[in-house]
Amino acid sequence: MYVIFENPGEIDPLAIRTFGVSVKEGDNPIGFFGTGLKYALAILLRTGHQVSMQAGELTLAFGTKEAAIRNQPFNLITMDGEPMGFTDAVGKTWEVWMAYRELYCNCKDEGGTVFVADVLPTPQQGVTRVIVAGDAFRQEHNNRSSFIITGEPWLKLDNCEVYDGESTGIFYRGILVHRLPKGEVSRYTYNITERVDLTEDRTAKYAFMFPSMIAGSVMTANDETYLREVLALDQRYFEHQFDFRSAWGNPKPTKAFLGAVEQLTQNKAARVNVSAQVRYKTEKRAELTPATTKLVGVEADILKKAIPFCKKLGFQVSEYPIIVTDTLGPNILGMAENDRIYISRRAFMQGTNRVAGTLIEEFIHLRYGHKDETRGMQEFLLDRLVALGERMTKKPL
């Protein structure tokens, strides 16, 4: 049984022999180094496969020939018995699936097809075929979905396509170009459509950019089902590390994105991506009124009591402008941004204690830089609690 890669046009045998030649027909080829076919030949012949090529009506057979250079044995790759100038040590650490990837990419770049046949096809003018025989290669053909994406994406976002199903790698133009660190898995499979720089072995040169690139795409999504799930994934998943504060291209979040964060904050606050909440607050801040909302009745009395109380505890909250607003979102009582303390009217509904606690928390964020749910914040509060106890007992520990 043969796995056959068929392309329109006839390859020049000189291009097969020569490194650094890339004359593909496509406007945006996956590969551009002109080495893919040589690597594939070396890998396949080294692993005991049979490889031949039909270039129009011409049939070319590939093999190896023993040679010694400085008394070191080598297997030269041959075409019709003639050495081609490289050995089967090319791509020495590469595996059989990588050879399949190379031939598939070349075929895709040329607008070709891949199929399996029981018998060799008849050479045909105007057609190039690479023909491989061997059990291991046929197995990679059967398992190609692990490193080649097939089918249609579930979602199409700005910089990537989203396929349903977990993955341990990131794809580019349908080809695996980056494996996630051992033990990591993404809830969805991502195929980058933005241009990605590749190394000669077709891996991403700047793979560290992928979380930021995909995060930027997520912010442009409108599918609420996808957003609610991806924004609430725990640390087991690759998506958990997305930082929406500095996402690729800094896109403006869609209403669906902000709505999903708001809903999750209300229902599952402990699991919502923290940076998504920060981004939500940043977007909402733009909607805030520039001056303090006028307080009426008991609200004004509550603030008059809360501010002096905070001062007695050592928190000079009035050093920062205090803005009362209705637009922080559900379950968000306060926010510290741009040297201002924003406090929700919801806090006033819960009494003076809640207002004072919120003012103190946002003051600590601004003055000391401690973030929510951090060890630094915890230790700061415990230290102040102990200090307060010392003042009350008038006995230092």
* Judgement on whether residues 245 and 340 belong to the same structural domain of the protein: no
Residue linked to tokens 């799930």? 229
The tokens for 315 are 């928190």
Distances (CA, A) of 397 to 303, 383, 386, 388: 34, 12, 9, 11
Q: Does 351 lie in the same domain as 222?
A: no
- Total domain count, the chain: 3
Residues 135 and 159 in one domain: no
One domain for residues 8 and 142: yes
Lowest mean pLDDT among 15-29, 77-91, 218-232: 15-29
- Interval 205-262: pLDDT, tens: 999 999 999 999 999 999 999 999 999 998 899 999 899 988 999 999 999 999 999 8
Confidence band (pLDDT; 50, 70, 90) for 30?
A: very low
Asked if residue 225 lies in contact with residue 164, where contact means CB atoms within 8 angstroms, the answer is no
Question: What are the helix (H) ranges across the chain?
Answer: 13-17, 36-46, 96-109, 135-142, 210-218, 224-230, 255-267, 274-285, 298-312, 345-349, 352-368, 375-393
**From CA 74, how far away is CA 66, in angstroms rounded?**
6
Same domain? For 54 and 22 the reply is: yes
Residue numbers of the domain that contains 88: 2-146
Per-residue confidence (pLDDT) for residue 32, from 0 to 100: 40
Percentage, residues of the chain above pLDDT 90: 56
Is pLDDT above 70 for 155? yes
Asked if 159 and 280 sit in the same domain, the reply is: yes
Mean pLDDT of the 23-28 span: 47
Domain assignment present for residue 141? The answer is yes
Q: Among 285, 306, 340, where does a domain finish?
A: 285
Same domain, 316 and 273: no
Q: End of a domain among 88, 112, 146?
A: 146
From residue 164, alpha-carbon distances to 53, 121, 151, 167, 228 in Å are 37, 37, 11, 9, 15
pLDDT band for position 291 (cuts 50, 70, 90): very low
pLDDT at residue 296 in the model: 75
172 with 280, same domain: the answer is yes
The token pair that represents 28 in the structure block: 């945006």
| Residue 291 forms part of a structural domain | no
